[in-house]
A and B are shown apart, each in its own frame.
Chain A
Amino acid sequence: MNPFQFERSSSSSEAILRMGKNSRAKFIGGGTNLIDLMKEGVESSDFLLDVNHVGMNEVLELPGGRIRIGASVTNSDAAYSGLVEERFPLLRDAILAGASPQLRNMATCGGNLLQRTRCYYFYDLATACNKRENGSGCDAIAGNNRIHALFGASDACIAVHPSDMCVALATLNAEIHVLGPNGPRVIRIADFHRLPGNDPTRDNTLSRDELIIAIELPPSPLNHHYHYAKVRDRSSYAFALISAAVGMNLEAGKIQSASIAMGGVAHKPWRDSRAEKLLIGKRPEIRVFRDFSEAFFKSARGLGHNNFKIELGKRTLVRALEEASLK
């Protein structure tokens, strides 16, 4: 771990100004991922700016049934806030499926969006990793790729995004509010994380000097029939082999709308809106769910060790849809 300067900022606009001057500076929230990466030498920021005290630590109700989760609200506080529990129980379930209670108490929601992959090779400086150092190669592609991507991978990177929270955010069409030197902007969750392409070093579309201010959730008709399913190697404190966040709106015994995102399968929470359309107007039946899961996984490509995740993924989707429809 390299020596670094640590300072605390008292306002978001000041934080952005200070960030602009230093290309090796980083914002720090809970630090549950960043500090680990610095210990491993994967990250080597020389200036950490603490943004936990800039007034982004509340969960608020907004007009029109929206809610706004401040970026420095901890994962635990978000999951147990009355507004999230009542209106977005899918998000609560996803957050509580992640990490461990100790980590959730430290980690912030803004930081969760920026979690980096758990690819073994990314963490080991002795191996080639384009995400760490673009152009160095990828030892994972022909290596141990059990936990790697089925969708949207590139020749440069097969890493997956590790978050549970973000999978639910994708299902719920969350909006990420950010502030940069040129003022605020809103990024749809679908556009927030990116695929690795030729530049796997970039996990998302945030600029270096932009600060996540809040996550906003538009009112959702999916909050009655919902389910978060997570398949993992042990019952807690394990990243998802596969996860699925499912919400649907049932009326008169038929699916009016549905939104489905999967985790553990791609460089970002994975949605397939074309496949989702297959569900519209159908009865919530196993046969329908199976057809959907086949369509969803049509473009999935196994890499060897992770081939089992294709069948496992289909089953996870069917189970999550079934559980959601029965709620």
Chain B
Amino acid sequence: MKESQTWIGKPVSRVDGYAKVTGAARYAAEFKSDGLVYGVVVSSDVTKGKILKIDSRSALACDGVIEVITHENRPKVSFWNRKFGDQDSPPGDHFRALYDSEVYYSGQPVALVIAETFEAARYAAKLVVITYELEEYETDFHSRLEEAYAPKETKPGFEKPKSRGDADEAFSQAPHKISAEYDSPTQHHNPMEMHATTVVYEGDDTYTIYDKTQGTANSQAYVCQVFGLSPKKVRVRAPFVGGAFGSGLRPQYQLYLAVMAAKKLQRSVRVVLTRQQMFSFGHRPASVQTVKLSAGEDGVLHSVGHSVTAETSQLEDYMENVVSWSGMLYKCENVEVKHELVKADIFTPLDMRAPGATSGLFALESAMDELSYEIGMDPLELRLANYTEKDQNYFGRSFSSKELRACYEQGAAKFGWSKRALKPRSLREGKKWIGQGVATGVWDALHMKSTASAEFTSKGELKITSGVTDIGTGTYTILTQIAAETLGLNLENVTTSIGDTDFTPAPLQGGSWTAGSMGSATQAACFAVREKIFKLAKKLPDSPFSDAELSDVLFEGGEMLLKKDPSRSVSLNDVLKSSRVDSVKAEGTSAPNYLKELPHARNTHSAVFAEVKVDADFGMIEVSRVVVAVAAGKILNPKTARSQILGGVVWGMSQALFEETVTDHRLGRILNHSFAEYHIPVNRDVPEIDVIFVPEADSIVNELGVKGLGEIGIVGTAAAVANAVFHATGKRVRNLPIRPDKMV
């Protein structure tokens, strides 16, 4: 008997790591095709108006230029605006590039230049002369706050804020209270890989599309709806995605333009956006939040008020869950929450890195910190004084599991929180003030219907396939681990292939639901394969399993063996060979069990502890230490899990200190659209980050008990940093990012 091996919970290195570092892993802009031509997007210089004239003559006169596609000569697209919707679109009229002469925002794609070489297309794109009729515009929602409204129809995933009790009355009566306004800037996703699509024209109106997307099925459906194509003729592949952070949740315009060009020219086309154009579509919306908290001497909350007004486009009503967390994170009878929008002449915002929670928890957790100083109470004690075991947003339902208390305890112990001085400006080292802050993080443990396919061959190989994408999070690796463990195989015997609409349908990769949902689907598919192999084994002549049930059998080391008598075993490939079967195949689906899941709140939690050093003269802030304790159910792979949390924490620091899309609102133009000027942390900014995974058993969220880690790392981190800055200096900065000019 071979040695038994388990894979779930082991720090396995990425199974796709070798392919990535050797360049064998190919991304959307790297697929080749004979006769491939290149499209370069011409972006609008003006912010609002109508295109009067497009003069493409100079562009077309360039060597190698094939076509300039504009709204005047584009191929037919659907007349119905709703056909431009997708799995993640907010209500409203959806943006349609090159549809008509309307310009809705600065940077809008207005033409596509196609040439035999990328260089020719890029040069010619600068030669397209466009004449506009200009219209008045307003890109700054701050100047229209009085026009705020609450849309009737909302986006999938948006929870309508629910108030309870009488927050105003409680606030007015309470001995301690704070009320503050927090300002979050526009931010752009900025994955390393620019959005790109390579459309391979297969003839007969048939297309294989390599797209940068978080949802192959979403891109496929969009292309089919918009261009009236049959899904049989459109295959979308995204085997590797170079980061996305939400930017690939909706089909982006490079996909639409590349397909449009391929259709018009009946040729293979590639369109890659520039870094500057990465600032010309979805983004985290700028918002203004007001948080009002009141409490008694003991720190127990009497009221929570949280309202947000955020920007959206003229076309769609984008909403994300900013304030609903404030009704569930702490115990409180009086809660008033509100979410409103203001229209501006910008592109529609888009889910980005823990959408809603990232901004909402910055405000709530900053306010909790402010309240702690108002009361004179340790900020961690304040949170513990308001700890809740019930989700009051939903009639006090219990949590499927909640180890937040353990997060606070283990994080505080590791960080050395108990040694922290209560007063701000207590610790100085040379020219630097040192401070420490804490904040709570929370995110959903969502379960989405997912399907995976498993096929075991007589050669002893297991193939896992699904349409789901891996956006760098480690999906390949965890699916491989789950499959190997379920069938008792070595990792080398499992091949996972994903990101292809020819495979089984999968949801968008996002919302932290992939590991739990796809993992459970993969496990289900492998269970089904196991059962099929078992049935074959029973029928073999002199089978040791003839009287056995499936539950009497173990799958280990490539073999099936009787639990009672492990010496009676047979190798899985022998079962197939002896049965004269080449392969055994099954699909597995994991879908929400509402009866089981809805009676419980299902969430991940974290406690983030940060230490900062602030230059007393310059206000330059260095994050010197972060400890984050996370409760997220079962951890499939501590190594890739840690990487996800590290990434999240770095983005949280980025939110606190660096990230801001700067717009000149007179011109309506984004100014800092490059990596030189749109700052994210560099290596030198990132300190030692301690990640603790607090054990948390959960039998409700999904079959595996996995809650997902995609977002929980970022949520709360910005507040922890901002709270540490206050503790260091006594200066409270409520408008992010906290840059030197706000500290001086």
In the complex, the answer to whether A139 meets B664 with C-beta atoms within 8 Å is yes
Which residues on the A side are within 8 Å of B683 (C-beta)? 236
- Residue in chain A with minimal CB distance to B741: A308
In the complex, the answer to whether B123 meets A232 with C-beta atoms within 8 Å is no
| Complex alpha-carbon distance, A100 and B681, angstroms | 13
Q: Say which residue of B106, B122, B618, B672 sits within 8 Å of A120 (CB atoms).
A: B672
- Residue in chain B with minimal CB distance to A315: B617
Which residues on the A side are within 8 Å of B664 (C-beta)? 120, 127, 139, 143-144
Provided the pairs A235-B682, A312-B618 are in contact, do residues A3 and B666 lie with their beta carbons within 8 angstroms?
A: no
Which residues on the A side are within 8 Å of B45 (C-beta)? 125-126
B667 within 8 A of A: yes
Which residues on the B side are within 8 Å of A251 (C-beta)? none
CB distance from A228 to the nearest CB of B (A): 14
- Residue in chain B with minimal CB distance to A311: B744
Which residues on the A side are within 8 Å of B617 (C-beta)? 315-316, 318-319
- Residue in chain A with minimal CB distance to B44: A126
Which residues on the B side are within 8 Å of A255 (C-beta)? none
Q: Say which residue of B126, B667, B679 sits within 8 Å of A41 (CB atoms).
A: B126
Against B, the Cβ 8 Å flags (1 = close, 0 = not) of A95-118 are 000001000000000000000001
In the complex, the answer to whether B123 meets A238 with C-beta atoms within 8 Å is no
- Residue in chain B with minimal CB distance to A310: B744
Give the number of residues in B that approach A within 8 Å (Cβ atoms). 35
B455 within 8 A of A: no
In the complex, the answer to whether A142 meets B666 with C-beta atoms within 8 Å is yes
In the complex, the answer to whether A127 meets B669 with C-beta atoms within 8 Å is yes
B662 within 8 A of A: yes
Give the number of residues in A that approach B within 8 Å (Cβ atoms). 36
Q: Say which residue of B119, B676, B684 sits within 8 Å of A236 (CB atoms).
A: B684
**Interface majority SS (helix, strand, loop, mixed), chain B:** loop
Which residues on the B side are within 8 Å of A146 (C-beta)? 741
In the complex, the answer to whether A234 meets B123 with C-beta atoms within 8 Å is no
A231 within 8 A of B: yes
B566 within 8 A of A: no
B671 within 8 A of A: yes
Which residues on the A side are within 8 Å of B77 (C-beta)? none
A124 within 8 A of B: yes
In the complex, the answer to whether A231 meets B119 with C-beta atoms within 8 Å is no
A60 within 8 A of B: no
In the complex, the answer to whether A308 meets B684 with C-beta atoms within 8 Å is no
Which residues on the A side are within 8 Å of B666 (C-beta)? 139, 142-143
- Give the contacts of B673-688 with A (CB-CB under 8 A): 674, 676-677, 679, 681-685
B697 within 8 A of A: no
Provided the pairs A144-B662, A311-B744, A315-B617 are in contact, do residues A124 and B669 lie with their beta carbons within 8 angstroms?
A: yes
Provided the pairs A143-B666, A144-B664 are in contact, do residues A124 and B677 lie with their beta carbons within 8 angstroms?
A: no
- Give the contacts of B99-119 with A (CB-CB under 8 A): 106, 119
| Complex alpha-carbon distance, A231 and B615, angstroms | 10
In the complex, the answer to whether A312 meets B657 with C-beta atoms within 8 Å is no
In the complex, the answer to whether B684 meets A120 with C-beta atoms within 8 Å is no
- Give the contacts of B690-739 with A (CB-CB under 8 A): 739
B620 within 8 A of A: yes
| Complex alpha-carbon distance, A1 and B123, angstroms | 5
- Residue in chain B with minimal CB distance to A139: B667
CB distance from A61 to the nearest CB of B (A): 33
- Give the contacts of A197-237 with B (CB-CB under 8 A): 231-237
A2 within 8 A of B: yes
In the complex, the answer to whether B667 meets A233 with C-beta atoms within 8 Å is no
B740 within 8 A of A: yes
A241 within 8 A of B: yes
Against B, the Cβ 8 Å flags (1 = close, 0 = not) of A236-252 are 11110100000000000
CB distance from A60 to the nearest CB of B (A): 33
CB distance from A325 to the nearest CB of B (A): 15
CB distance from A327 to the nearest CB of B (A): 15
In the complex, the answer to whether B679 meets A241 with C-beta atoms within 8 Å is no
Provided the pairs A127-B667, A143-B664 are in contact, do residues A233 and B684 lie with their beta carbons within 8 angstroms?
A: no
In the complex, the answer to whether B682 meets A237 with C-beta atoms within 8 Å is yes
| Complex alpha-carbon distance, A143 and B662, angstroms | 11
Which residues on the A side are within 8 Å of B46 (C-beta)? 126
Which residues on the A side are within 8 Å of B657 (C-beta)? 234
CB distance from A205 to the nearest CB of B (A): 27
B658 within 8 A of A: yes
Against B, the Cβ 8 Å flags (1 = close, 0 = not) of A285-327 are 0000000000000000000000011011001101100000000
Which residues on the B side are within 8 Å of A127 (C-beta)? 664, 667, 669
| Complex alpha-carbon distance, A312 and B45, angstroms | 35
In the complex, the answer to whether B618 meets A315 with C-beta atoms within 8 Å is yes
In the complex, the answer to whether A231 meets B682 with C-beta atoms within 8 Å is no
| Complex alpha-carbon distance, A214 and B685, angstroms | 35
| Complex alpha-carbon distance, A126 and B106, angstroms | 10
| Complex alpha-carbon distance, A236 and B685, angstroms | 8
In the complex, the answer to whether A235 meets B622 with C-beta atoms within 8 Å is yes
In the complex, the answer to whether B620 meets A2 with C-beta atoms within 8 Å is no
| Complex alpha-carbon distance, A309 and B741, angstroms | 8
CB distance from A320 to the nearest CB of B (A): 11
Provided the pairs A3-B123, A312-B740, A312-B744 are in contact, do residues A144 and B671 lie with their beta carbons within 8 angstroms?
A: yes
| Complex alpha-carbon distance, A311 and B619, angstroms | 12
In the complex, the answer to whether B667 meets A231 with C-beta atoms within 8 Å is no
CB distance from A253 to the nearest CB of B (A): 23
| Complex alpha-carbon distance, A124 and B671, angstroms | 8
- Give the contacts of A75-104 with B (CB-CB under 8 A): 100
Q: Apart from A238-B679, A318-B617, A319-B617, what are 14 other A-B pairs with CB-CB below 8 Å?
A: A120-B671, A120-B677, A124-B671, A126-B45, A144-B671, A231-B740, A232-B740, A235-B684, A236-B682, A239-B676, A312-B741, A316-B617, A316-B618, A319-B618
Q: Supply 24 A–B pairs (Cβ within 8 Å), ascending by A.
A: A1-B119, A118-B676, A118-B677, A120-B664, A120-B671, A125-B45, A126-B669, A139-B666, A143-B664, A144-B662, A146-B741, A234-B657, A234-B658, A236-B684, A308-B740, A308-B741, A308-B744, A309-B741, A311-B744, A312-B740, A312-B744, A315-B617, A316-B617, A318-B617
Q: Which 3 A-B pairs have the closest CB atoms?
A: A126-B45, A120-B671, A308-B741
